[in-house]
């Protein structure tokens, strides 16, 4: 049975009596105490309440004086491996997950982290690019096989999917394709099935989908660039896609940049304001998608098309393309600076 952690939210003024009711109803053995801004103020368990009652506190007493105001927490960027290690080290069965502002985004449980689901959804990894911005590193080695943390980028990607319960992989190859095929083989080493889609010429970030077999199971497909390191929760991404009931879901990252000059606002020839070096914010494409099988089948064989154009066509046709904000760790290994950054960050997140 899947429990909704939001049912376990209470505020510091909640009485012990009501906290008992919330803990019982949410069936998670814990209540998360949040302030008016949604930030975690503390946690309270049935054990905390029992100890309070033993001390003689009345049931109408507020949980603020009973809760653990300094619980163990993790960031949305932390890996499942790190979460499990923290839980085991401190004998915990719950772990609140917070964003950069200290707001609760979910509650991990030890059972949930160790439970191994199995998804029939195919995963399509695009690994055929030339990696020109990483030359000379890619002169004799395809970018997906460049090693970060002692293993190829693509191996880390596949292992992340495997740990989430995915077993059916398709890899699009072109540049130095034999090296990728020789390294991963049929996937037996990882307990999965790997098939290859060979592009005779580059078909763009969506075109290679047209080379897939026509008899794939009717489950949404996750499509991902083969040069991205991320801790995206793929099962949660699938749940989101299914809930939205669109034809596609695009993962996005919030990107902020600072304009290095004062920006002038005008009305006709009159200046209405000056803002010095403002910070602009937008959503950028994270290179991870979920596509319905019916949509994948509309791509013709040998059709050259990039994913942004393909999705724009669906939007113009009135189809629903949803966006899934990515708060977890994400890094596109596009340039040498990204490659070096990933080397330094790998042990922290993977």
The catalytic residues are 277
Q: What are the φ/ψ torsions at residue 147 (nearest 5 degrees)?
A: -90, 135
The burial class, CB within 10 Å (0-12 / 13-18 / 19+), for 177 is middle
**C-alpha distances out from residue 85 to 45, 47, 77, 144, Å:** 21, 23, 15, 29
CB 308 within 8 A of CB 211: no
Is residue 332 within a helix (H) or strand (E), and if so which, with residue range?
A: strand 330-332
- Tell me the Cα Rg of the chain: 24
Q: Pinpoint the alpha helices (H) of 143-226.
A: 153-163, 177-184, 204-207
Going by their DSSP bridges, the two strands 193-198 and 168-173 should be labelled as: parallel
**C-alpha distances out from residue 68 to 56, 187, 228, Å:** 18, 46, 38
Q: Pinpoint the alpha helices (H) of the chain.
A: 16-26, 46-54, 80-89, 110-114, 153-163, 177-184, 204-207, 234-244, 293-296, 307-316, 336-349
CB half-sphere exposure, 285, CA atoms < 13 A: 15
The burial class, CB within 10 Å (0-12 / 13-18 / 19+), for 130 is middle
């Amino acid at each position: 049975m899947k429990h909704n952690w939001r049912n376990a939210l209470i505020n510091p003024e909640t009485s012990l009596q009501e906290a008992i009711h919330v803990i019982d109803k949410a069936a998670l053995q814990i209540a998360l105490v949040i302030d008016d801004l949604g930030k975690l103020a503390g946690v309270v368990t049935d054990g905390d309440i029992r100890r309070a009652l033993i001390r003689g506190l009345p049931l109408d007493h507020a949980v603020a004086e009973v809760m653990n105001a300094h619980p163990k927490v993790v960031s949305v960027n932390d890996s499942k491996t790190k979460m499990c290690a923290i839980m085991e080290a401190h004998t915990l069965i719950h772990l609140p997950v917070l964003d950069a502002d200290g707001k609760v985004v979910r509650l991990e449980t030890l059972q949930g982290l160790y439970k191994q689901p199995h998804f029939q959804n195919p995963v399509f990894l695009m690994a055929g690019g030339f990696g020109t911005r990483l030359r000379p590193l890619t002169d004799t080695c395809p970018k997906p096989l460049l090693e970060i943390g002692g293993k190829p980028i693509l191996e880390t990607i596949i292992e992340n999917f495997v740990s989430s319960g995915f077993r059916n992989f398709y890899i699009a190859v072109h540049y130095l394709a034999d090296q990728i095929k020789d390294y991963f083989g049929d996937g037996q080493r990882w307990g999965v099935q790997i098939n290859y889609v060979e592009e005779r010429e580059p078909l763009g970030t969506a075109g290679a989908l047209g080379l897939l077999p026509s008899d794939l199971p009717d489950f949404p497909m996750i499509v991902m660039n083969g040069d991205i390191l991320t801790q995206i929760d793929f099962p949660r991404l699938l749940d989101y896609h299914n809930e939205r009931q669109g034809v596609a879901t695009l993962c996005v990252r919030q990107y902020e940049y600072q304009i290095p000059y004062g920006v002038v606002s005008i009305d006709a020839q009159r200046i209405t304001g000056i803002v010095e070096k403002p910070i602009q914010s937008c959503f950028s494409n994270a290179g991870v998608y979920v596509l319905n099988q019916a949509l994948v089948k509309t791509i013709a064989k040998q059709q050259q098309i990039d994913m942004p154009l393909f999705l724009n066509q669906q939007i113009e046709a009135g189809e629903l393309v949803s966006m899934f904000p990515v708060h977890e760790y994400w890094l596109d290994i596009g340039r040498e600076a990204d490659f070096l950054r990933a080397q330094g960050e790998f042990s922290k997140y993977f």
